[in-house]
Amino acid sequence: MSNESTVSEGLVREVTTSTFEIEQYRSLRGEILRGTEDGNQVMSYGLAAIGIVITAGMTEKNSVFGFFLFAILIPGLSSLVLSLWFGTLERIARASFFITGIESRLKLMLQAPNLPTWDVWLRAKNRGKRHSNHHFWTTEYSGFLLFVFLVVGPLAMSFGLGGADITSGTKLIVIAIAACAEVGFLIWMLRRVKQWKQWLSSIFGPDS
């Protein structure tokens, strides 16, 4: 009788655990979907706002106001948009990373170690290569190009703006200060990217 009770309790515990894991899986899938939607909204509204400021700057390109728009406001606004956009990617990466642990535990429960699962497969390595399949890395390249186009580009253009109302020395000082701030921002972002890449290239385990 005690053996039957023990077996029954074990089955109930296993069913309860698997149900909990599945609910976690569904919740995290929803988090990934919301993160994707939020990222699209941030980028859409952010690029629209940046476009408005660039248009205003071009109409005032021969004034001090136009210079400051390109030297400070556009790079600063672009950095904010890129940071918020990458924040949604971090949410997605964290959720996907945790899902790999759920997938591994469910395969263990089902005694099906070779069962293919999506998030684990995304982190699989190419045959004959050390690195993963790089399903996510186009996002990294896109972010870098956006930084060059939206931050470095306006900073470089600002030196030719402002007309005769502002001296070259003043321009250099303002641009140098803005550039230092953007370098700090870039270093901070690279640290975040490093953690993001770790989430997207490893499997969640007990020591994670």
pLDDT in tens, 145-158: 999 999 999 999 99
Least Cα distance to 102 among 27, 178, 10, 198 occurs for 27
Cα-Cα-Cα-Cα dihedral of 20, 109, 33, 77, to 10°? 100
User: How do the domains of the chain map onto residue ranges?
Assistant: 2-123+133-199
Query: Which residue shows structure tokens 């995290």?
Result: 28
pLDDT confidence of residue 183? 97
Would you say 78 and 50 are in contact if contact means Cβ atoms under 8 Å apart? yes
Q: Compute CA 141 distance to the chain's CA centroid, rounded to the nearest angstrom.
A: 12
Q: What is the pLDDT of residues 155-197, one digit of tens each?
A: 999 999 988 889 999 999 999 999 999 999 999 999 999 999 9
The per-residue DSSP string of 27-53 comes to HHHHHHHHHHHHHHHHHHHHHHHHHHH
pLDDT confidence of residue 208? 62
